[in-house]
Amino acid sequence: MAGAGAREYKRRIRSVKSTQQITKAMKMVAAAKLRRAQEHAQASRPYTETLQGTLARLAAVSFDVRHPLLEKREDVRKVGYIVVTADRGLCGGYNTNIIRECNIAIREDERKADYGIIAVGRKGRDFFRKTGKLDAEFVNLGDNVSYADAREIAQYVMNAYENQELDEVYLVYAKFINALRQIPTAVKVLPLETPEAEEAETSINERVIDYIYEPSAEEILLTLLPKYVGSQIYHAMLEGKASEHGARMTAMGNATDNAKELIDNLTMVMNKVRQAAITDEILDIVGGAEALKK
């Protein structure tokens, strides 16, 4: 009889504890994956930076370059959004924040153009499938972002752009600041804007290198433009991955802390109930003894 209530609490504590073990393990896995994702992002930097630097230099010396990917369209009928989300949940507001950012971008587009979603990651796809605006999906790409996947996505949007199916393309993803902060951002990918201005300026300030261009600056620029699209998408996917693991690590850390607090509270209540039961019993015994004395 004693502690019937206490047993109920004991059961709940055990259940919370096992949940806590899971969240703790997930947090540690996310931390390890975050480190790997950051290393990946680091490894891709030389490529991206050299490509950007060279493009800027080429753009500075090339005149009158024409490329379908560079041409701005007056009449924008349909805008494409590449939405980079995670394949899995349990990472706090990560996925919802990206989807919200995308919806804000769509709403704030004053041209009221039609739009289509190119979903990268299952969570984004699931959401936009319900809206009926899904144009393409690239899901289950795994934790190791590969450049081949990025290139395939780039190929898809460049085809759609050149076939006039899309008139503008944005990339929506979470920029990685640190494990606690990921900022959802939307950047324009197409039409391409060559990275010129500031970078070109600094190279002029340094010193002018008289390059030989083989075949010509213009032609090299044209072959590099599609690669620039691929590298931008790859970069977004890498940052997205780091952000995802960062967000999951934080969310699971919080969950573990909450579980601890819950366990502490439950333990205290359980002890109170147990003590009350003991007191009751003692009172019973004392009461019985008193009654016998009389």
Partner 1 sequence: MADNTFMVEIVTPEEILFRDEVSFLVAPGTEGELGIMRNHAPLVGALKIGVLRYKDPNGNQKKLAVSGGFMEVVDNVARVLAETAEHGEHVDVLRAKAARERAEKRLQARDETVNALRAEMALKRAIARLKAAGVE
Which residues contact partner 1 by CB under 8 A? 40, 43-44, 46-48, 50-51, 54, 57-58, 146-147, 150-151, 209-215, 217, 219-220, 223-224, 227, 230-231, 234
Q: How many CA atoms lie within 13 A of 227 on its CB side?
A: 13
Least Cβ distance, residue 234 to partner 1 (angstroms): 5
Phi, psi at 10, each rounded to 5°? -60, -40
**Residue 135, amino acid:** D
The neighbouring-strand residues paired with 178 are 181
Nearer to partner 1, 147 or 191 (CB): 147
Tokens linked to 115? 């739009």
Active site residue 102: no
CB 85 within 8 A of CB 124: yes
d(CA 94, CA 84): 11
Residue with tokens 């590099």: 224
CA 225 to chain centre: 26
Least Cβ distance, residue 149 to partner 1 (angstroms): 11
Nearer to partner 1, 63 or 74 (CB): 63
Least Cβ distance, residue 210 to partner 1 (angstroms): 6
Q: Which of 91, 117, 172, 238 is catalytic?
A: 91
Least Cβ distance, residue 65 to partner 1 (angstroms): 14
Nearer to partner 1, 133 or 151 (CB): 151
Mapped onto helix, strand or coil, the DSSP state of residue 33 is helix
Q: How many CA atoms lie within 13 A of 284 on its CB side?
A: 8
Report angle CA 163, 168, 174 to the nearest 5 degrees.
125
Least Cβ distance, residue 230 to partner 1 (angstroms): 7
Phi, psi at 185, each rounded to 5°? -135, 155
Q: For helices 147-162 and 217-293, what crossing angle results, to 10°?
A: 120
Nearer to partner 1, 224 or 276 (CB): 224
Catalytic machinery residues: 91
